[in-house]
Chains A and B, each alone.
Chain A
Amino acid sequence: MEYERFAPLVTPHTELMARVAAALVGASDAEDAAQEALVRAWRAWPGLRDAEATRPWLMQITVNVCRSQLRQHGLRARFDDLSESEPLSTQELAPGTVDHVNALDLRRAIVALDDDMRVVIALRFYAGMDSTEIGELLGIAPATIRGRLRRALLRLRQTLDGAGQRATPAHTTTSRKDA
């Protein structure tokens, strides 16, 4: 593919690149990841033969960069970031309340998922993609994505139920399942 066609073919997909990166590594690191992905795409541009494949090709690069970044920075750091600064609805909640604890537990549970499940959760709920789009992005059948999604939900539920027994504040009588 000619370099001159890079911008015209890539720019329609930059919003999705940014959204996927933000969902996977957090908004604060998304710019670094997305720009890294863009440059990798540019360097590999001559190898792209089909203009129609630009979108999934870019998304695969973006996901790979984000996964690499997560591995480099470590999940622990990502958890700290997620729990303190991510724009989840927890920020609307007063620290120490049951809802706040629940939301933080949810974040911890997501971060603790296996990589494949975590990516599906992030893309499905935070990037707002459906299973077909995620399947195209990851090169996996949509049915497989749906299976991972269901397994991830069950795993999260198990994790949250365990965390709830440990973390529910003593001064409240509201149970986690009531929240």
Chain B
Amino acid sequence: MKPQVIEFKVGSPLHHPPSPAPAPNVVTDSAQLNDAIMARFHSRIYTRGEVVLPAVPSLVDYYVQGLSEIFVAIGKPFTAEELENLKNILQPQLEDGFRASPHSNVIFRYEPSETGGITYNVSNVIASMTDQYKIWVDTREPPLFGSHPDTKLLEVAKSLHHLPQINILDIGAGTGRNTLPLARMGYSVDALEVTPVFAEQIEAAATAEQLPIRVYNADILGPLVRMAPAYYSLAVAAEVVSHFRDADQLRLLLAKMCDGLHSGGLFLFNTFMAIDGYEPDQLTREMSEVNWSTIFTREDIAYAMNDLPLELIEEMPVYEYEKVNLPAEAWPPTGWFDNWANGRDLFWLPEQKTPMELRWLLCRRL
């Protein structure tokens, strides 16, 4: 039997009218359409966030570029005009923050706006060196600056043994790494320390051991902070000048030493110096301050010493000198000392040498 083929006819055969030619502005390309979907959809993605930027004025363009990449990534790209506007807002905040302290940050906060874009605001947070060290005290294991006194300092102190009475001034005494050993050796030491917790620690140790130490919680650069005039045989400022802002502050320190030292008295300090022939640019100078490694050139030092009754009598790299002379168990003084003293907190060159180093400078008061 032949199967019966039944044709079902439903209505008229399918009628395919010719497709109208696509209008030139109708998009059918799926990749393009997907982009279009996302472009519309971005207004539904709400992004908020905070970017903390160290206040370095020279980095303003770098920061604007970085932020603009964030805006692209979150689908809210800024126009050239908006970026220019951002720069104009960011710049004074970076400058104000940096002027107040190299430890300041600028905070960039953004959040969704009513219209699907973002709104942002920029502010700065000023933090002082004292604030920074307070954090060290709260979060790090002592000794914060090492357990041994600087060997160069002990050598210089010994060179004064012909004097009947040796009064020593320790500027930026920290936790007393130099103050306490010097006092134990019999010198009378005045310790100046700006961070209150450190000053209290020295005071407590001095009292407990009945050492000839007077502690002053003060900033050597403060206008009302004056030393007994023509009184000290030796003043030391170890790891202090690396916190300074400029050569004017160094000059003020040296001038005050001229007032406090008696004729023939010695001033030992260490500072980062650019190697001869290397001239740090503005960005490098700002970044050196931010990284606790303020860099000075030979011209800066000469400016700071100009016309003062002070002569530079000796100079050497701190790292090499202390490495040779400190007992083996005391080396390195801290986990950070090697990188810091060799300029690597500023320039990350792990295999090469940076164009700066921490140096001891020894001066004599005329």
Chain A complexes with chain B: no
Mark A residues whose CB is within 8 Å of B: none
Mark B residues whose CB is within 8 Å of A: none
